[in-house]
Amino acid sequence: MSDRSPFPTLDHLAAQIDPRSSWTGYLIAAGALLSIGLALTEPSASDGFDLPARLVFWLAHVSSALVLFELAQIYLGRIALFERLPPLALIVLVGVMGALLFAIFNLLVLDRVVFLTGGLMDPEPLSFYGLLEELRDSGTKSVLFWVLLNSPRLIIIAQQTDTDVIDQRPTPDAEQVPEDAANQSVNAGGPLLDLLSRLPRRIGTDIVAISADLHYLRVYTTAGEALILMSFGRAVEALSVIPGQRVHRSHWVALAHVLSLDSDGDRVLCRLKTGVELPVSRTYRTRLRAGLATWDEQRLLQAAQKMSAVPDAT
């Protein structure tokens, strides 16, 4: 009997919004809980609103803030200068930028909408002074909220580093780097080395696949997996020296570690030799199959060349 779920699409959607494993789901859950909490406690910003109006008010403010903070995180994470910062420093910097963006958005949009629909609050004036007033009221709280929101994953990243410090056993890094990457890493320059340096030593550097979770990145190797703070686009660029392909807007796989492509209804799953399964979107299916065929041909050619190079014992 098949272990596959009869509702793979629903299962995939549930996995995408599961706050225990998905950053998107985590943001949705945190935003909903915070909005409900603020609606129930009646802060001064929503004085005069009944409960349903307060809930809508805070959902609009919290959700817009989270979107702006995430956009700031993704944007700054793609800039090499900022990406090299320690994770906590980058999160704080994003918090400051996000607080500024939210203050501007609140001043230009949210305050006006509330005033026009209910007339229950006077919007701040459209001026530099009005912006300073917004930042005074919400800036520090916004930065603190973003840092606290990211703190569980920052702790996970820090614990990975602490494990490496405690475990001083030598790691044969040179042997764990894929042969293709080792031959070209010098020409690749900093991006690949930067990516590999972020990985805990315990999982090695033989990368099997990477998966994006907004501004976080989960890296799978032959020895395990780890969570790092790095943009998916920069990671794919760094891995360009390794034969691999994107199979989805959020997933990349190394061709050498692909075991099979399995169909599950309308879905196609890329099964890796480590047991990891990743969805293959329609956009990338033909290209992936062609890439795997080319990869197999290259491996057969290399094997044939090695056999022909062996002297005949007879």
pLDDT tens profile 140-152: 999 999 999 999 9
Give yes or no for residue 172 having a pLDDT over 50. no
**Domain positions in the chain:** 10-165, 178-307
Would you say residue 85 has pLDDT above 50? yes
Rounded to whole angstroms, how far apart are CA atoms 58 and 279? 35
pLDDT (tens digit, 9 = 90+) per residue, 178-217? 544 445 444 445 788 889 989 999 999 999 999 998 889 9
Q: What is the percent of the chain with per-residue pLDDT over 90, rounded to a whole number?
A: 47
The torsion of the CA quartet 246, 248, 252, 258, rounded to 10 degrees, works out to -90
pLDDT, tens digit, 9 for 90 and up, residues 1-55: 444 555 455 555 666 667 777 888 999 999 999 999 999 998 887 877 889 989 9
Among residues 282, 209, 311, 314, which one has the least CA distance to residue 251? 209
pLDDT tens for 227-242 read 999 989 899 999 999 9
CA distances from 174 to 4, 60, 160, 182, 264 (A): 39, 51, 21, 8, 38
| Cα 248 to Cα 148: distance, rounded to the nearest angstrom | 30
Helices (H) and strands (E) in the chain, counts: 12, 8
Answer CATH for 178-307 from 2.60.40.10, 1.10.600.10, 3.40.140.80, 2.40.50.1020: 2.40.50.1020
- The pLDDT score that the predictor gives to residue 171 is 43
> How confident is the model at residue 275, as a pLDDT?
93
**Which region, left, alpha or beta, applies to residue 228 given φ > 0 means left and ψ of -120 to 50 means alpha?**
beta
CA dihedral sign of residues 289, 292, 294, 297 = negative
pLDDT tens digit string along 245-277? 999 999 999 999 999 999 877 889 999 999 999
Element (H, E) at 128: helix 128-166
pLDDT > 70: percent of the chain: 77
- What are 137's two structure tokens? 């009221």
pLDDT of 124 higher than 90: no
CA–CA gap between residue 124 and residue 294 (Å, rounded) = 62
> In terms of pLDDT, which residue wins out, 161 or 59?
59
